[in-house]
Amino acid sequence: IDEVELGKLVSADLAIHADVADVLSGLIAHVSPRLHSPWRQRIRVWQDEDATRITSSSSPADNASLSVPTAIRSLFNATRGESTLVVDVGQCQMWAAQFYSATSGKPFITSGGLGTMGFALPAAIGVQIACPEDEVWVLAGDGGFQMSLHDLATVAQEKLPLRIAVFNNGYLGMVRQWQEMLYDGRYEATPLVNPDFVKLAEAYGIEALRAETPQQANEAIAQARKHEGPVLMEFRVVGEGPEGNVYPMVSAGCTLDEMIRQPVPVASVKETVR
């Protein structure tokens, strides 16, 4: 709606100076609905087939190593899907979609497939200000969180009751997964040197918790939900191997029919790509 922005950085073939609501209302009248019924049915079949895997993999022993799916499933069990989720980019984004059943009508806010790392924390600040009565959770990987962790200052200053879950696996997880499966584990620029997230939050006067097992995750989530102010939870999670990878996965150059839907030997993945 700011006319001076039109053509400022990118030349437009057709520049429209109007409120987006008015523009979309006009465009919708010229668009025919497409339901994509066969594709949606195929997705439902995959969801049904994967239901057992998802349920079993998210119910480990209390003292087992903590995985991201386990932590997210614990969050769902605690909130029953009644919380607003703002998720970052990468593995945690996909695991959140799989293991947190956002069926209660509460928003599931994501930057989408071309999203920017670091999206979750600043976006959640806006969500919490707009919906002060909502229980808002930030889900972010350690890499993405470091892109915008300075916004903890805003959270503290405005006393926003955000629940911030940082999944610390010591890697840029999505890129690491590709390097593991397709490049013989030659990790380049994916291992991370992280700060002590608990001490960082405490430096801002924010309540901070840490969990390394499923039982500790349950306790941290329960404690965070009782706290009236902002809380940061560091979940130290599995970084490598089958539990550190997210599925389904479509390798570069492959079609959806070649989707990898569960852990397979690395050699099989590389052969598929060839």
Name the token pair of 237: 């999670």
| Burial of residue 108 (number of CB atoms within 10 Å: 0-12, 13-18, 19+) | middle
Q: In what order do the strands lie in the sheet with 163-168?
A: 108-109, 84-87, 136-141, 163-168, 231-236, 207-211
Task: Determine the pLDDT at residue 118.
Answer: 97
36-74 pLDDT, tens digit each: 999 899 888 887 776 666 555 556 677 788 999 999 999
Element (H, E) at 54: helix 37-57
Task: Determine the pLDDT at residue 266.
Answer: 60
Q: Who wins on pLDDT, 153 or 35? A: 153
97-151 pLDDT, tens digit each: 988 987 778 899 999 877 899 999 999 999 999 999 999 999 999 999 999 999 9
186-204 pLDDT, tens digit each: 999 999 999 999 999 999 9
Query: DSSP letters along 15-40, please?
Result: ---S-HHHHHHHHHTT------HHHH
Q: List the helix and strand counts (H, then E) for the chain.
A: 11, 6
Q: Please, what is the average pLDDT of the chain? A: 90
- Rounded distance, CA 205 to CA 187, Å? 36
Task: Determine the pLDDT at residue 61.
Answer: 74
User: Average of pLDDT values for 173-187?
Assistant: 91
226-261 pLDDT, tens digit each: 999 999 999 999 988 778 999 888 888 888 888 887
Name the 3-class secondary structure at 13: coil
Query: Ramachandran region of residue 211, left (φ > 0), alpha (ψ -120 to 50) or beta?
Result: beta
User: Average of pLDDT values for 163-170?
Assistant: 97
Q: Residue 270 above 80 pLDDT? A: no
Element (H, E) at 215: helix 214-226
Task: Determine the pLDDT at residue 231.
Answer: 98
- Rounded distance, CA 143 to CA 192, Å? 7
Task: Determine the pLDDT at residue 151.
Answer: 98
Name the 3-class secondary structure at 180: helix
User: Average of pLDDT values for 259-270?
Assistant: 68
